[in-house]
Amino acid sequence: MLAKPTGVTLETHSKDVEQEAQVCVSAHPFVSEKYERLAGSDFQKEVKTAALFHDVGKAHPKWQAACKKDNQNFLVGGKYGSNLMKVGIRHEIASLIMLQKKSLSEPVKIAIAAHHKKLSSGHEKRWLDAELKGAQNFWDSFKRLSNNAFDPIAKDAFENALQWHYKFSGVRSYVQLADHRASIQENIDETGRFVPDFQPFLYEFPEAWEKRPVQQLAEDFSNEPLLLLRAPTGAGKTDAALLWAKKQIEAKRADRLVIAMPTRFTSNALALNVNERVSETGLYHSSAWFSHHSENAKLSKENEHKERMIHEFARLLESPVTVCTIDHLLASLTLSREDHHGIVFNLAHSCLVIDEADFYDAFTQANIEKLLVATRILEVPVMLMSASLPDSSLKLYEKAGYNNLKIQADVSDLSRTRCAVKSIQSYSELDEIDELLEASKTQPTIIYANTVANAMQLYQRFKKQDVEPVLYHSRFIEADKKKKEELLLDMLGASAWKENKANGIAILTQIGEISVNISADFMISELCPIDRLVQRVGRLSRFGKQVGSLHVILPMRNEKEYPAPYGSYLRQTGWEANPAFVKTKDLLELKDYSAADFVNLVNQVYDKQQESPSDAKNNARCLEELFIANWLILPADEMKEDEEDTMQWKSRNIPAQVTVFTKHPDGYFKNYMDFQAFKNEWGIAIPIYLAQRGISNGSISSSEIGIRDEKRNILVASESAYSFEEGLNIDYNFDNLYC
């Protein structure tokens, strides 16, 4: 009997999957221990049973007949697979029917049913096929289990769903992984047989180093289920996180580390930093393939396969250390894709670091609260790190069910003067701050603008004066972002300062607050909420003990303060600043500031935990409801791999985005993956209203492309609208550009 048209027998494939299942389970002894404690079952036995029987349905006569016809086509070098496509028999359903007399556990049945990602409301009709008598009985029983395992409208429904999901998702995801790995190694193409090894977490603190206070705090309080750690920028938080993770793994509270960052750019930077210190680091976010893998993948077909496998490992949190965005973890809680089940199960066996924890607005914080409920129920150790974590944030984390919380603060270097606020002034035109801009020409300088438009205005001003700053914002393609960061490091990085070569002007938006390790002694920053300002000041005299100079400027429009994006836009009145922006403006003084002063200022600005807006509460509640609804059976509307939102739920409250391509594709794409690769390489996400403005002024046009048999319209920027120097610039007249 055959398992595949290429001639792999059913007996061979079953043994291969069983063997790979053993490899997966043996590589994670902690998983088996925790599963027995939380789910009350023998994990290894459950996975082995499901792996052994997962494909017995392929013995069905009709399936075998179709497979053998495809095998004959394969043997003569023809196209194969069409007969199996038309056979009308789902072999996983046939497996369950043939195994009815065996007393299999429910998790094993679910693992068999889901191993080809078809346990979904979108595939319900496959379960109602009359040709496989008894298929509907299984579907009905799975639906009953999904609906009746717990009360879906009870107050603790989310917590109950997490516990039930844990029991089922582990066997389900491990059998899928084993089947996938076995099939890859059975591949007839030798260039596509690589599967990643399971690596243990390995980290040793350098013997020549002395532990810094924040690193000692991370070790001393490693027993806390939720550790809140506050330390100034440059205090050594990365190694503190690795020391903390090592403690968790040694204490058998986890077997891997996940670090969640606010943005893709911070993830990229940290992944490179961490990779030098540990056994292996995976990186995953929506453009990680391009930033981390595509260059090596282009070298050969074998390399491409290898990089895809490593990328997939990181997506599943199978790397000993995975650096990802917070959005990746939040999206997995929707259970809107099959691999979400594996991601959540693997998170349950990780320790989690949420870095730059104060970066998020109330909307995203409400989502993070639900993530912390999940980590508490699944007993995942968590550490939140930040340079400006306010005392009032304790109430937010207590809402997730954690008790007796306290912020552990590195107070070793709090009193030293870090910077001097030299001036605070408003401006409507750049001429009004000409003296500051002239001063920046004579020394290494970092300028922070709150919006891309403001940053571009500053860049254009210098360019007209024959000065060429480095402009860095979010509207560059990935390759140019990488080059920009390299330029910035060459100009203002640690080596440049060490070699007395630091020079030039860097103009940055929020993208440069926490992702680029640069420094200057002279900084101009548009006014922003104090926690963001503290992050910016972290790039002021970063590599030394000298006191840097900070000049704060406040944009004005039509004789009114222009706080964008820190507030709300009202059609009638324009931008209204949020309370943190207003308080920062009122409290910031012309004086010297130490880290302790900034902590006090943060606590004054955020003196009480703000109540989440109703849209944030409703959105976070929707995340719970999605998990409860999808804990066993996938929804009909499944999320694509690159997506981080559903139709009902958003990870962040940002304006609707659309991708603008800076290069027109040459032809049709063979599949969605090829299109996605092109999108990651040449696409830039911008708000829809901005794209509409580009269409109206001719800098953006619509074009039709093909993806397999599907036709799709995309937006393409004109040649003059994109450059390495400025990024995507759809406006040529800055006089009226306010967003």
- 398, 432: one domain: no
- 289, 436: one domain: no
Indicate the residue type of 104: L
Pick from 381, 329, 389: which is nearest to 359 by CA? 389
**Measured distance CA(321)–CA(34) in Å, rounded:** 19
- Lowest mean pLDDT across 21-35, 317-331, 462-476, 510-524: 510-524
Domain membership flag for residue 631: no
- 553, 504: one domain: yes
Confidence band of 70 (pLDDT split at 50, 70, 90)? very high
Mean pLDDT of 727-734: 73
- 154, 244: one domain: no
- 229, 364: one domain: yes
Q: What is the mean pLDDT of the chain?
A: 92
- Lowest mean pLDDT across 233-237, 344-348, 441-445, 497-501: 233-237
Domain membership flag for residue 534: yes
Q: What is the residue range of 539's domain?
A: 417-605
- 393, 423: one domain: no
Mean pLDDT of 569-579: 86
Domain membership flag for residue 714: yes
Last residue of a domain, one of 544, 579, 605: 605
- 254, 360: one domain: yes
Angstrom CA distances, 591 to 209, 413, 419, 549, 596, stand at 35, 19, 9, 10, 14
Domain membership flag for residue 711: yes
What DSSP assignment string belongs to 638-705? PPPTT----SS--SS----EEEEESS--SS-BSSHHHHHHHHHHHEEEEEHHHHHHHHHHTSEEEEEE
Over residues 404-455, the pLDDT tens digits come to 999 999 988 889 999 999 999 999 999 999 999 999 999 999 999 999 999 9
Last residue of a domain, one of 375, 409, 443: 409
Look at 711 and 16; give whichever has higher pLDDT.
Answer: 16
Confidence band of 580 (pLDDT split at 50, 70, 90)? very high
Over residues 175-231, the pLDDT tens digits come to 999 999 999 999 988 889 999 999 999 999 988 889 999 999 999 999 999 999 998
Residues 6+ apart with CB under 8 A from 723: 729
- The yes-or-no verdict on residue 737 having pLDDT over 50 is no
- The yes-or-no verdict on residue 464 having pLDDT over 70 is yes
- 385, 427: one domain: no
The pair phi, psi for residue 212, each rounded to 5°, is -85, 160
Mean pLDDT of 395-406: 92
List the CATH number of the domain containing 57: 1.10.3210
- 176, 267: one domain: no
Domain membership flag for residue 366: yes
Angstrom CA distances, 14 to 2, 10, 166, 181, 495, stand at 11, 6, 26, 12, 55
pLDDT confidence of residue 653: 86
Last residue of a domain, one of 587, 605, 623: 605
Confidence band of 738 (pLDDT split at 50, 70, 90)? very low
Upper half-sphere CA count for residue 591 (Cβ side, 13 Å): 8
- 452, 588: one domain: yes
Within a 10 A sphere around the Cβ of 356, how many other Cβ atoms?
25
List the CATH number of the domain containing 469: 3.40.50.300
Mean pLDDT of 269-276: 76
pLDDT confidence of residue 279: 82
- The yes-or-no verdict on residue 735 having pLDDT over 60 is no
Q: Is the dihedral of CA 530, 366, 653, 338 positive or negative?
A: positive
Domain count, the chain: 4
Tokens coding 685? 């996400």
- 292, 428: one domain: no
Domain membership flag for residue 448: yes
Domain membership flag for residue 286: yes
Percent of the chain surpassing pLDDT 90: 74
Over residues 496-545, the pLDDT tens digits come to 999 999 999 999 999 888 778 899 999 999 999 999 999 999 999 999 88
Look at 585 and 414; give whichever has higher pLDDT.
Answer: 585
Residues, the chain: 739
pTM of the model: 0.91
- 392, 455: one domain: no
- The yes-or-no verdict on residue 128 having pLDDT over 90 is no
Domain membership flag for residue 642: no
Pick from 342, 337, 524: which is nearest to 422 by CA? 524
Tokens coding 31? 């998983």
**Measured distance CA(42)–CA(455) in Å, rounded:** 58
pLDDT confidence of residue 130: 66
